[in-house]
Amino acid sequence: MKYRYLGNSGLAVSRLCLGTMTFGNEAWGCDLATSQSIVDAFIDAGGTFIDTADLYTKGESEVILGKALKGKDLTRLVIASKCWFPVDDTPNGRGLSRKHIVEACEASLRRMGLDYMDLYQIHGPDPYTPVEETMRALDDLVSAGKIRYAGCSNLYAWQIVKANAAAEIGGFTKFISGQYLYNLVRRDIETEILPACVDQGMGVLCWSPLAAGLLTGKYRDREEVFKSDRFSAMTNLRDRYVFDEAMDLVELLCAIAKETGKSPTTVALAWLLKDKAVTSVIAGARSAEQLSDSIEAGAWDLPDEAYRKLKDKLPHKHGYPTEWMETALVPSFNKTEDDPGRAQRFPPLFG
């Protein structure tokens, strides 16, 4: 297993993070015994970073994770959870108010049987709560010793920068990470969010890095995908991941896997990790056997040529203003050598 620092923070994490959304899920997940074997296999392989949320299986994922961690040396692990989704039907049982953040954090710690967690992430943006209130509440949790670091998930790029600016002004802790949907068939974050995270010194954590199983190469046509447990239960995933170009990409992924002697799963995860802006990929599994291919990506680096072929197969269309930048910015700033250490990271304009 290889390790990376989470953004500009001093926190080192395994570059494979274990996702626990499957824990306790009857339709497309696994029970306590299997979850325990997944956690054991992950830690035995050198994995240190584990992600959960109060949302997953209505808190059951956190309960199971807490049981699976019993007797483990927590100082060697980095445990992350999240809040934001409704936990009940009251108006304060959701969102990012000081009241909810503190109560949700305490409830997550109780479910996991922990005194503190390492990374606490807001799961989405709250359109009603002032961002200063949210950042102050996260900072209070750091001061109270209940969390070590704060991160975000699913925010727009401008919201990330606004929140960190509010934290800077208030002297509060800033986000050290952004958890985002990123995989070979959904590269939306390359336009705004990934550059914003780099600018803000935040590490990117990729959720659904295998497109919920599509990029394992086990489905070779749409009908097979739709029949699977996950895609039958979560029909919104069909439009998100299953389209002609995505199925063509799976073919290339399988061919490259054959060439490199690795599984498509390993190659798909290693593709994301090729970019050092990505700190960790959050892979899910419903058995320890499934996890073994993902674990391999924790230590294996994809060759450059394979990376480039996959990158070029289904490029993300950035649209405006990137189109404008290509015609206006590139020719206007071409008098000096491109210096990646100095330039702000725009979508890949300079090749």
Ligand X SMILES: NC(=O)c1ccc[n+]([C@@H]2O[C@H](COP(=O)([O-])OP(=O)(O)OC[C@H]3O[C@@H](n4cnc5c(N)ncnc54)[C@H](OP(=O)(O)O)[C@@H]3O)[C@@H](O)[C@H]2O)c1
- Interaction of residue 229 with ligand X, rule CB under 6 A: yes
Cα gap 40→52, rounded to integer Å:
16
Q: What is the closest distance, in whole angstroms, from the C-beta atom of residue 227 to ligand X in the complex?
A: 11
Applying the rule CB under 6 A, the residues between 279 and 338 that interact with ligand X are 282-286, 290, 293-294
Tokens of 120: 């606490």
- Residue 62, CB half-sphere, CA atoms under 13 Å: how many? 24
Find residue 180's DSSP bridge partners: 206
Question: What is the 3-class SS of 283-347, one letter each residue?
Answer: ECCCCHHHHHHHHHHCCCCCCHHHHHHHHHHCCCCCCCCHHHHHHHHHHHCCCCCCCCCCCCCCC
Taking CB atoms, the residue at the shortest distance from ligand X is 19
Q: Which amino acid is at 254?
A: C
| Interface stretch with ligand X, choices 35-43, 135-143, 165-173, 207-215 (CB under 6 A) | 207-215
Tokens of 309: 């072929």
Distance of CA 200 to CAs 22, 62, 168, 177, 193, Å?
31, 29, 11, 9, 10
167 vs 211, beta carbon nearer ligand X = 211
For the CA atoms of 234, 239, 242, 245, what is the dihedral angle to 10 degrees? Answer: -160
Q: What is the closest distance, in whole angstroms, from the C-beta atom of residue 237 to ligand X in the complex?
A: 8
CB distance 84 to 97 below 8 Å: no
Q: Confirm whether 56 is a catalytic residue.
A: yes
234 vs 328, beta carbon nearer ligand X = 234
Applying the rule CB under 6 A, the residues between 112 and 141 that interact with ligand X are 123
CB distance 203 to 7 below 8 Å: yes
Tokens of 40: 């054991």
- Interaction of residue 207 with ligand X, rule CB under 6 A: yes
- Interaction of residue 153 with ligand X, rule CB under 6 A: yes
297 vs 306, beta carbon nearer ligand X = 297
Annotated active-site residue in 5, 56, 182, 219: 56
Q: What is the closest distance, in whole angstroms, from the C-beta atom of residue 209 to ligand X in the complex?
A: 5
The contact mask relative to ligand X for 41-60 (x = CB under 6 A, - = no) is: ----------x---------
Q: Give the binding-site size for ligand X (rule: CB under 6 A).
A: 31
Answer for which of 45, 211, 253, 267 binds ligand X (CB under 6 A) is 211
| Interface stretch with ligand X, choices 155-163, 224-232, 248-256, 330-338 (CB under 6 A) | 224-232
Cα gap 301→266, rounded to integer Å:
10
Q: What is the closest distance, in whole angstroms, from the C-beta atom of residue 184 to ligand X in the complex?
A: 11
Q: What is the closest distance, in whole angstroms, from the C-beta atom of residue 15 to ligand X in the complex?
A: 14
DSSP 105-116: HHHHHHHHT-S-
The contact mask relative to ligand X for 14-33 (x = CB under 6 A, - = no) is: -----xxxx-----x-----
Applying the rule CB under 6 A, the residues between 250 and 279 that interact with ligand X are 265
Q: What is the closest distance, in whole angstroms, from the C-beta atom of residue 350 to ligand X in the complex?
A: 31
Residue positions annotated with a catalytic role = 56
